[in-house]
């Protein structure tokens, strides 16, 4: 018997990173304010369709890039997209390259993360409702493959697979840090994918990240990152990213079969039912609605 989840169809959430502050390809666009018990999100959500597929768009840094990486309310952003009925989440991010063959202008479909961020709210759960989701494979392989194919169809050179080092920022890396991250096996570097990917998994949202390579970070002798350099490459990448989202709508299978990530919270809750905090459960009315009695 098909489940209600299988019958819902696709509703794609898109989180736009640096340079991607709107989706001009959306048809019948409607901008709405969505509240969250976790505070204010980065801005209103834009709802619309592309090729008949519903989309919900949220700029990660807000309009005009007013929010720095460490101040983004990642929990509220994921929460409001979940409230909009999103089934799958595609993140678009500007990244630096830690590999010679990942040249500026190319795209990377990231599949792993190293988290070096600090002081960010990294979970929806806590005292009164403890949960430990699996994050061994933090990216949805089905969605990531579709996003990579969409970027290729949009004309991008795409590297399928890569480890993203999430740094705290807002400064770029020192040369010593950049070389150390290469030694750790990181392929690209950015400031925003964590805790975003963690929270998407807790919200039972399959997550994919398309990284737009803007620079070589600072590991190469004589190279260092300048905002002006990043912006020049980013402007070209942004046009491709918008086309990739449009291509994604045409590449999605007609019906959305369930993903194991849709039930990531199964077996993850440690707190006994009679010990679960009602206030915490109420706060999770969108994220963990299935857990409510």
Q: Which segments of 106-192 does DSSP mark as H helices, in order?
A: 141-153, 175-184
Please give the full DSSP string across 62-85, using - where no structure is assigned.
Answer: TTTT-S-GGG--HHHHHHHHHHTT
Distance of alpha carbon 98 from alpha carbon 182, whole angstroms: 6
| Cα–Cα nearest to 138, from 110, 168, 119, 160 | 110
Tell me the pLDDT tens digit for each residue of 135-190: 999 999 999 999 999 999 999 999 999 999 999 999 999 999 999 999 999 999 99
pLDDT of residue 269: 93
Say which of 79, 115, 215, 262 is annotated catalytic.
215
- CA-based torsion, 62, 68, 69, 73: positive or negative: negative
pLDDT of residue 91: 97
State the CB neighbour count (10 A cutoff) for residue 250. Answer: 12
pTM, to two decimals: 0.93
| Cα–Cα nearest to 138, from 68, 77, 192, 208 | 208
Distance of alpha carbon 87 from alpha carbon 12, whole angstroms: 6
Would residue 285 show up in a list of annotated catalytic residues for this protein?
no
Q: What is the signed CA dihedral for 103, 107, 112, 115, rounded to 10 degrees? A: 70
pLDDT of residue 227: 67
Q: Which two tokens stand for residue 31?
A: 């901008």
Question: What is the SS3 assignment for 279?
Answer: helix
Quote the DSSP letter at residue 105.
T
Distance of alpha carbon 96 from alpha carbon 252, whole angstroms: 29
Contact call for residues 135 and 198 (beta carbons, < 8 A):
yes
Question: What is the SS3 assignment for 144?
Answer: helix
Tell me the pLDDT tens digit for each residue of 217-230: 889 876 666 666 66
pLDDT of residue 225: 61
Give me the half-sphere count of Cα atoms (radius 13 Å) on the Cβ side of residue 284.
26
pLDDT of residue 224: 61
Contact call for residues 172 and 230 (beta carbons, < 8 A):
no
Distance of alpha carbon 227 from alpha carbon 235, whole angstroms: 12
Say which of 88, 187, 217, 262 is annotated catalytic.
217
Distance of alpha carbon 164 from alpha carbon 191, whole angstroms: 10
pLDDT of residue 1: 26
Angle, helices 193-202 vs 74-83, to 10°: value is 40
Q: Which two tokens stand for residue 284?
A: 């999770």
What is the set of domains in the chain, with CATH numbers?
91-291 (3.40.50.1580)
Would residue 217 show up in a list of annotated catalytic residues for this protein?
yes
pLDDT of residue 7: 41
Distance of alpha carbon 89 from alpha carbon 87, whole angstroms: 7
- The parts of the chain modelled with pLDDT lower than 70 are 1-8, 222-230, 292-293
């Amino acid at each position: 018997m098909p489940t209600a989840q299988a019958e819902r169809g696709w509703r794609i959430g898109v989180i736009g990173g640096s340079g991607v502050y709107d989706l001009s390809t959306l048809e019948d666009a409607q901008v709405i304010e969505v509240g969250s018990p976790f505070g204010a999100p980065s801005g209103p959500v834009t709802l619309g369709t592309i090729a008949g597929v519903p989309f919900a768009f949220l700029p990660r840094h807000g309009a005009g890039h007013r929010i720095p990486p460490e101040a983004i309310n990642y929990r509220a952003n994921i929460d409001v997209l979940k409230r909009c009925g999103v089934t799958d989440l595609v993140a678009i991010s500007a990244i630096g390259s830690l590999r010679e063959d990942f040249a500026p202008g190319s795209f990377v479909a990231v599949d792993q993360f190293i988290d070096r961020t600090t002081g960010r709210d990294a979970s929806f759960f806590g005292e009164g409702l403890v949960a430990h989701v699996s994050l061994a494979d933090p990216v949805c392989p089905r969605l990531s493959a579709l996003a990579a194919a969409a970027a290729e169809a949009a004309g991008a050179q795409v590297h399928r697979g890569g480890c993203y080092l999430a740094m705290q920022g807002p400064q770029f890396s020192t040369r010593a840090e950049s070389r150390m991250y290469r030694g750790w096996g990181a392929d690209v570097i950015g400031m925003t994918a964590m805790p975003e990917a963690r929270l998407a998994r807790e919200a039972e949202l399959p997550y994919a990240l398309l990284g737009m390579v803007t620079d070589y970070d600072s590991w190469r002798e004589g190279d260092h990152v300048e905002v002006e350099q990043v912006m020049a490459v980013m402007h070209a990448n942004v046009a491709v990213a918008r086309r990739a989202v449009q291509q994604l709508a045409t590449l999605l299978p007609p019906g959305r079969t369930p993903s194991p990530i849709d039930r990531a919270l199964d077996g993850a809750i440690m707190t006994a039912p009679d010990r679960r905090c009602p206030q915490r459960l109420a706060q999770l009315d969108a994220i963990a609605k299935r857990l409510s009695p």
